[in-house]
Amino acid sequence: MRGVEADGLIKKGNPVRGKVGQPSIPMELVPGGAFFLGLKVGRRSLDLILTDFLGNIRSRVYLTHKYPTPDGVVLFAGHGISQLLEQLTPEERTRVAGLGIALPFRLWDWAGVLGVNKSDMEDWRDRDIRAEIEARWDFPVFLQNDASAACGAELVFGNSDRPSDFLYFFIGFFVGGGLVLDNALYTGKSGNAAAVGSMPIGRRGGKMLQLVDVASLSCLETAMAHRGLTADAIWSNPASWQIPQGMIDEWIDTASDGLAFSIASSASLIDFSCVMIDGWLPDAVRDDLVAATHAKLDSINTAGIVVPDVRAGSIGSDARALGAASLPLSQRFLVDRNALING
C-alpha cells in the first residue's frame, strides 16, 4: 500500500470518526495518478478523449466525417494524441497508461447504409489500425468492439447499483450491444458477442428485418433527409437536438418496437435481470425511448420467461469513448483484467 501511495496513485482521505477505537483513514485514488486515452471510431464521427484516474474527461478532440477510413482514423489519432498530450506536464505524460480504441466490427458490411461504395470500406478488412497507431507511441494500444466498449464503461464508471447480469443496448448510427454476466463483460470467441443489431425482429413487406433497420440513428437520419432536413443536428451535439419533436416521436415508436422484441427474444435465452439502454441521445430522448420500450415489452406475450427491468444507462453519449479509455485502465490496474476485455 505504501508503495502505491508513493507512486502517487492513491492518497489518504479524511478520517472516518464515530466508531469504536481510532478513526479509520480511507485511501482514495489520486485523479492525476494515471491518465488514459480513448478513441471512438464512429460511422459519422471520431472522438478522442483524455481521462484521469477517476474517469473524468480532461479534454477531447472531435471530428465529423461522411464515413471512416483507416487512413483518416490513423491520421486523426496521431494529431489528436499529440494535441491532448501537450496539455499535460512532462511528469503527467509519464503517467499515460495507454490508448483504447472502440471500433465497429465488420465495417465493410455496412457500406450501403452509409451511402458509400463498397470499395470505399474494403480497406477495413486488412488494416490493423491498432498496430499502426501503437507503432508511433511508447504506450500500449488496445481495441474492442464499440458497443462492447460502451457496455464496459457501465462496468467501470457507471452507477454502483447496477445488477451483476444485464443486456446493454447503445443507440448510435447503428444500434449495438453488450452482455454482462456475473459482473464481467462477455465478448465471446470473436469479440462480437451481443451483436444485437443483427438480431432478426420479423418481416415487413416480405423482407426480414434486423434490429439495426429500426432502432438505429441512421433511420432518423434517413427520415430527416426525406423531408429535406440536414442530419447535422443529430451528430453535432448529442446533448441537444434541434429536430422536430414529431420526427423524434415517430423514430422512438418504431425503435421501441424493435427493442422490445429483441429484449423478449434475448430473455428467452439468457436469464438476465435488467436491460440498459443508452446512446448518442439527449437525456430526454433516451428516457422517452426507455419508457416506450418498457411499455411495448409489457404488450408482448412473454409467457414462460422472466421479463427483465428496463432502465437508462448512466454514462450517456460518451460511453464508447470512455469504454475505450477503460481498456488501458483495466489492463494496467484492475486485478481481474478478464472482467473487461475477454470473453
Residue-wise pLDDT tens digits, 201-213: 988 888 899 999 9
pTM of the model: 0.89
Q: Supply the pLDDT for residue 115.
A: 84
Look at residue 2 and tell me whether its pLDDT is greater than 60. no
- Helix or strand run (H / E) with residue 247: helix 245-267
At the fourth CATH level, the homologous superfamily of domain 159-312 is ATPase, nucleotide binding domain (3.30.420.40)
Asked if 42 and 68 count as a contact pair (C-beta separation under 8 A), the reply is: yes
Instruction: Give the DSSP letter of residue 122.
Output: G
Q: Supply the pLDDT for residue 42.
A: 94
Closest to 129 in 3D by CA, of 249, 241, 39: 39
Cα 280 off chain centre by: 9
pLDDT tens for residues 55-68?
999 999 999 999 99
Look at residue 117 and tell me whether its pLDDT is greater than 50. yes
pLDDT tens for residues 228-269?
999 888 998 899 999 999 999 999 999 999 999 999 999 999
Written as nine digits, the cell of 343 is 470473453
Domain assignments of the chain as residue spans, ordered by start: 1-33, 35-149, 159-312
* Domain 35-149, second-level architecture: 2-Layer Sandwich (3.30)
Dist. CA 224–CA 248, nearest whole Å: 10
Q: For the chain, what percent of residues have pLDDT higher than 90?
A: 77
pLDDT tens for residues 287-333?
999 999 999 999 999 999 999 999 999 999 999 999 999 999 999 88
- Helix or strand run (H / E) with residue 80: helix 70-85
CATH topology agreement for domains 35-149 and 159-312: yes
Q: Supply the pLDDT for residue 25.
A: 63
